[in-house]
Amino acid sequence: MKYPAVRNYFGGDFVSADLPTLDVYDPSAGAVISQVPLSSRHEVDRAVEGARAAFPGWSGTPIKERVQVFYRYKALLERHIDELAALVTEENGKIASEARAEILKSAELTEFACSLPQITPGEVLEVSRGVECRIERFPLGVVAAITPFNFPNMVPNWSIPNAIALGNCLVLKPSEQVPLSAGRIAELLREAGLPEGVLQVVHGGKEAVEAICDHPGIEAISFVGSTKIAKVVYRRGTAALKRVLALGGAKNHLIVMPDADVEMTASNVVASMSGCAGQRCMAASVMVAVDRTDHIIRSMVEHARRMVPGQDIGPVISAEARRRIEGYIAEAEAAGAEVLVDGRNTRVPGREGGYYLGPTIIDRVTPDMRIAQEEVFGPVLVIIRSRDVDEALAVEQASAYGNAASVFTESGGVARYVMERASAGMVGVNVGVPVPREPFGFGGWNESKFGVGDITGRGSIEFWTRSKKMTTKWNREAGVNWMS
Ligand code: NAD
């Protein structure tokens, strides 16, 4: 095996344990590259215990000192970008440029954490003569982050820098499908000077997640993954009286107007649906083509056909994922949809064992089809035709999800109209992947997010802290009875 068996990371060390394991695959070859332990409640207890022991020291360290770790961590991410990106490619399959972009995004997230002392100084006001009210933020204690397979480096970094810089100690439970990057993140943070126990990494699946939800020593959980599991974690975590922010799946709609710039729209739409092999919660999934847009669709088909699997598009995560995605395509075809570009039966020479699927564009899909409603999570774009912008918006608004939506048009009025009415937390104009960048937070609506606030940016400050409201009176002239 290329990599030694993955180990949990407790108290600043990687520790072995006699636990059942799962194989870890390189999706581009279909080969086993490592094994991941499936931790039980016992390991989660141990992770929490170590984090709790570290909490007094870490939360008592001034925030300006705490963020020094993250300045160094950011520099390490940048220095090791080639190696970190290669590891992401190996365990997740995404192509080199996408993996590099992921690490750069991790660095940007860390940069935001470094700015926290500048933007969280608290508030103070003299509310009456000699009487002062102030608000200060305090960390919660031990918190947890549970992450999905599609961004092995970036999604853990949605939570790690902010939660830890704000004074919490964090237990990370990475996806069992991509557990390798988490180990390097832990090593780099150790090198950056993070004290032992402040970050604990516990590997596993269902049992570890349930133990995190139930654990009385964990105050808050950030979860990123499918809607089905987001609901489980939200319900179970809040039932145990924790704060939970659970980000779920997506079904993102791009509304394309007939006046849209042809080349820019075609290239953006295809890049959005095929980037990271469509395994992005911000990927285009449905294009709602308004009125006469055949010329744009023709250009999209040309773009998609020019893409070389293995070079421009990586594999999907597993053989099972590929089967599931191909099933959606076959079902839509059987129901009368027209497959304009067919990514099925893609083989990459020399990597015959890889789980490749080429970009797929399906026209004449109707809103009642399963492929139009459910998350496919592969490089598949369906086209639904509509007569006008209101009909297009109705398709978007009917979705159970609400992560992202975008409109392609040259009209400012239409753009504003769609931005105001789309039922999604992140909307764009002439942008295929409307991911907000720091300091703006990331978070969807509807079944794409459960809980209050956003997972990154300013929204995350509220989530990872609790405020204390302090009233002081030092002025005897203010009287003895002031609001008493
Ligand atoms: P997943 O829900 O299968 O897994 C996410 C996490 O939950 C993993 O750590 C996994 O170990 C754990 N888990 C899996 N099954 C469980 C169970 N039965 N009980 C308890 N825990 C369980 O998601 P995935 O397949 O790893 O990731 C893809 C999904 O994540 C897609 O739906 C995608 O849209 C979503 N996603 C959403 C966002 C967002 O910001 N909204 C971002 C990235 C990914």
How far is the C-alpha of 253 from the C-alpha of 374, rounded, in Å?
12
Q: Which residues pair with 23 in a beta bridge?
A: 35
Q: Residue 147 belongs to what H/E stretch?
A: none
Contact 103, 85 (CB under 8 A): yes
Residue of 169, 213, 276, 281 marked active site: 281
Neighbours of 97 (CB within 10 A): 12
| CA within 13 Å, CB half, 158 | 32
- Index of the ligand 1 atom closest to the CA of residue 375: 32
- Index of the ligand 1 atom closest to the CA of residue 442: 40
The residue type of 106 is S
pLDDT in the model for residue 375: 98
> Is the peptide bond preceding residue 121 cis, with omega within 30 degrees of 0?
no
Can you list the residues of the chain whose pLDDT is less than 70?
477-484
Cβ contacts of residue 51 below 8 Å, gap of 6+? 142, 169, 170, 171, 197, 198, 200
Q: To test ligand 1's pocket by mutation, which of 281, 317, 375 has the most ligand atoms within 8 angstroms of CB? A: 281
> DSSP string of 309-326?
BTTTB---S-HHHHHHHH
Reported as a single tens digit per residue, the pLDDT across 256-285 is 999 999 999 999 999 999 999 999 999 999
How far is the C-alpha of 264 from the C-alpha of 275, rounded, in Å?
16
pLDDT in the model for residue 129: 84
Q: Residue 415 belongs to what H/E stretch?
A: helix 412-421
Q: To test ligand 1's pocket by mutation, which of 209, 233, 285 has the most ligand atoms within 8 angstroms of CB? A: 209
Q: Give the three-state DSSP class for 162.
A: helix
- Atom 42 of ligand 1, residue of closest alpha carbon: 281
CA of 226 to the centre of ligand 1 (A): 4
Handedness of CA 422, 425, 427, 432 (dihedral sign): negative
> DSSP string of 54-98?
HHHHHHTS-HHHHHHHHHHHHHHHHHTHHHHHHHHHHHH---HHH
- Index of the ligand 1 atom closest to the CA of residue 177: 26
> DSSP string of 364-397?
S--TTSHHHHS---SSEEEEEEESSHHHHHHHHH
Reported as a single tens digit per residue, the pLDDT across 414-426 is 999 999 999 999 9
CA of 174 to the centre of ligand 1 (A): 10
Contact 218, 146 (CB under 8 A): no
281 is a catalytic site residue: yes
pLDDT in the model for residue 483: 60
- Index of the ligand 1 atom closest to the CA of residue 204: 11
CA of 148 to the centre of ligand 1 (A): 4
pLDDT in the model for residue 476: 72
- Atom 11 of ligand 1, residue of closest alpha carbon: 205
How far is the C-alpha of 309 from the C-alpha of 413, rounded, in Å?
39
How far is the C-alpha of 345 from the C-alpha of 361, rounded, in Å?
15
CA of 212 to the centre of ligand 1 (A): 15
pTM of whole model > 0.85? yes
How far is the C-alpha of 75 from the C-alpha of 204, rounded, in Å?
30
Q: Residue 291 belongs to what H/E stretch?
A: none
Question: Tokens 């557990």 correspond to what residue?
Answer: 179
CA of 24 to the centre of ligand 1 (A): 16
Q: What is the largest CA-CA distance in the chain?
A: 85
Q: To test ligand 1's pocket by mutation, which of 147, 157, 226 has the most ligand atoms within 8 angstroms of CB? A: 226
How far is the C-alpha of 185 from the C-alpha of 73, rounded, in Å?
9
- Atom 22 of ligand 1, residue of closest alpha carbon: 206
- Ligand 1 site residues (CB inside 6 A) read 146-150, 155, 173, 175-176, 205-206, 209, 224-226, 229, 232, 247-250, 281, 375, 377, 403, 444, 448
Of 433, 301, 294, 296, which is closest to residue 358 (Cα–Cα)? 301
Q: Residue 406 belongs to what H/E stretch?
A: strand 404-408
pLDDT in the model for residue 439: 95
CA of 390 to the centre of ligand 1 (A): 33
Q: Which residues pair with 36 in a beta bridge?
A: 22
Cβ contacts of residue 431 below 8 Å, gap of 6+? 268, 406
Contact 10, 31 (CB under 8 A): no
- Fill in the DSSP letter of residue 349: T
**What are the angstrom distances between the C-alpha of 201 and each of 9, 151, 449?**
5, 16, 24
How far is the C-alpha of 475 from the C-alpha of 164, rounded, in Å?
38
